[in-house]
C-alpha cells in the first residue's frame, strides 16, 4: 500500500514545529520514528496533508539525570534508553522495558515520545510509565505536565492534542531498596504483547512494601494501572502469599479483549495474574539487591 500524497516539512526547532502545527492544525501530523505512523498511513487509516518530521530537532533528543528525576527527551529512541548507563543504574526497569520492544530496527528508529503519544494499549512504555509514576511535559500554546495516570485517555488517544508536542518524559528516581521488572508474554520474538506487566517496588528495612507501582500492557482499552494489586502489597511483607494475592488482584484489574491472534479475554486475564506474580518476584529480588 502507498500513502496518499503529503507535503513533508522538516523543522529544526521546537518553536518551528509548533508554528507549523498551529498553521496546519489537524491537517498535519508529527513524524518521529515513523514506526507506527508510516504503517497507518500506508493502510490509509491516516492521511495527513502535512507531515512535520521532528527527527532533526536535536533539542528533543537527550537523556539526563537532574536532581531526583530522570529527564528523557521525546525523541530518544528505545535503543538509547535500553543501553543508557544512567537508566541502567537509576531505573533499570526502563532498560528492561525497552529491550522487549519489537526488534533492533524498531528499537533504533522508534521513539519513547512517539510510542506514548500513539497510545496503543499494546505499547510497552505506557505500563512502565504507570508503574514508575512518570510524567509527560507537553508543549503547545503554553506548557503543562500530565501524570501518566491522566495521559492515556482512550485506545490510540493520549492527552496530547493535535496542536501540541510531547516534549519530555520525567521519571522520579526511586529511593534505596527499590527494584523493578518488566515481564512480557509474546507469541514470537519481537511481537506486541499478549500480556505484559511492569512492576516497581520499594521495601523498608523490615521487608515491608512502602511503594508499589504496577502497569499492564495489552490488558485493557489503554495501558492500565493495577491499583487493587498495588493496594494488596502496600504496608505488607512481600511473602509468596502476599504476591499471590496481588497477582490475583491484577488479574481482576485487567480488562482484556479477545483477540484471534493472541488469545481469549479469559486466557489473557489469567496471564495478567501469572505475569504480575513473575514481575513482582523479580522486582522484590532486585529491591533486596539480588538478581
Ligand atoms: P511515529 O510512528 O513517528 O508516530 C506515532 C504517533 O505519535 C503519530 O500519531 C505521531 O504524530 C505522534 N507523535 C510522535 N512523536 C510525537 C511527539 N513528540 N509529540 C506529539 N506527537 C508525536 N511497540 C511496542 O511498544 N512494543 C512492541 O513490541 C512493538 N513492536 C513493534 C514491531 C514492529 C514491526 C513495528 C513496526 C512497531 C512496533 N512497535 C512496538 C511500535 C514502536 O514502538 C513505535 O516506535 C512506536 O509505537 C511509535 O514511535 P515512533 O517514534 O516510531 O512514532
pLDDT per residue as tens digits for the range 71-125:
999 999 999 999 999 999 999 999 999 999 999 999 999 999 999 999 999 999 9
Separation of CA 190 and ligand 1 centre (Å): 14
Let me know how long the chain is.
291
List where CATH 3.30.43.10 sits in the chain.
7-52
106 lines ligand 1 (CB under 6 A): yes
Say if CB 183 and CB 197 are below 8 A apart. Answer: yes
CATH number of 7-52: 3.30.43.10
CATH classification number, 61-172, choose in 3.20.20.150, 3.20.20.20, 3.40.309.10, 3.30.465.10: 3.30.465.10
Fold (CATH) for 178-287: Enolase-like; domain 1 (3.30.390)
Rounded to whole angstroms, the Cα distance separating 259 from 201 reads 31
Separation of CA 279 and ligand 1 centre (Å): 25
Torsion of CA 55, 58, 64, 66, to 10 degrees: -120
Tell me the per-residue pLDDT of 46-69, one tens digit each, with 9 for 90 and over: 999 999 999 999 999 999 999 999
For residue 291, what pLDDT is reported? 54
List where CATH 3.30.390.50 sits in the chain.
178-287
Candidate of 28, 30, 61 to mutate for ligand 1, largest count of ligand atoms within 8 Å of Cβ: 30
Rounded to whole angstroms, the Cα distance separating 284 from 289 reads 9
Rounded to whole angstroms, the Cα distance separating 222 from 208 reads 30
Amino acid at each position: 500500500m502507498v500513502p496518499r500524497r503529503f507535503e513533508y516539512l522538516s523543522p529544526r526547532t521546537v518553536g518551528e514545529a509548533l508554528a507549523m502545527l498551529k498553521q496546519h492544525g489537524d491537517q498535519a501530523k508529527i513524524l518521529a520514528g515513523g514506526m507506527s505512523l508510516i504503517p497507518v498511513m500506508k493502510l490509509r487509516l491516516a492521511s495527513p496533508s502535512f507531515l512535520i518530521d521532528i527527527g532533526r530537532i536535536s533539542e528533543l533528543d537527550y537523556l539526563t539525570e537532574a536532581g531526583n528525576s530522570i529527564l528523557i527527551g521525546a525523541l530518544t529512541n528505545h535503543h538509547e534508553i535500553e543501553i543508557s548507563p544512567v537508566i541502567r543504574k537509576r531505573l533499570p526497569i526502563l532498560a528492561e522495558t525497552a529491550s522487549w520492544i519489537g526488534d533492533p530496527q524498531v528499537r533504533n528508529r522508534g521513539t519513547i515520545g512517539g510510542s506514548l503519544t500513539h497510545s496503543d494499549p499494546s505499547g510497552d512504555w505506557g505500563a512502565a510509565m504507570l508503574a514508575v509514576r512518570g510524567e509527560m511535559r507537553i508543549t503547545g500554546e503554553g506548557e503543562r505536565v500530565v501524570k501518566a495516570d491522566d495521559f492515556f485517555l482512550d485506545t490510540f488517544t493520549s492527552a496530547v492534542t493535535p496542536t501540541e508536542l510531547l516534549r519530555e518524559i520525567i521519571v522520579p528516581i526511586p529511593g534505596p531498596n527499590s527494584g523493578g521488572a518488566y515481564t512480557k508474554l509474546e507469541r514470537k520474538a519481537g511481537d506486541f504483547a499478549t500480556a505484559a506487566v511492569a512492576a516497581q517496588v520499594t521495601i523498608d528495612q523490615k521487608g515491608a512494601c512502602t511503594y508499589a507501582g504496577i502497569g499492564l500492557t495489552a490488558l485493557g482499552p489503554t495501558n492500565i494501572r493495577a491499583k487493587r494489586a498495588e493496594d494488596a502489597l502496600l504496608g505488607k511483607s512481600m511473602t509468596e502469599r502476599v504476591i499471590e494475592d496481588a497477582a490475583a488482584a491484577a488479574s481482576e484489574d485487567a480488562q482484556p479483549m479477545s483477540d484471534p491472534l493472541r488469545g481469549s479475554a479469559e486466557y489473557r486475564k489469567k496471564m495478567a495474574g501469572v505475569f504480575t506474580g513473575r514481575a513482582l518476584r523479580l522486582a522484590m529480588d532486585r529491591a533486596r539487591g539480588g538478581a
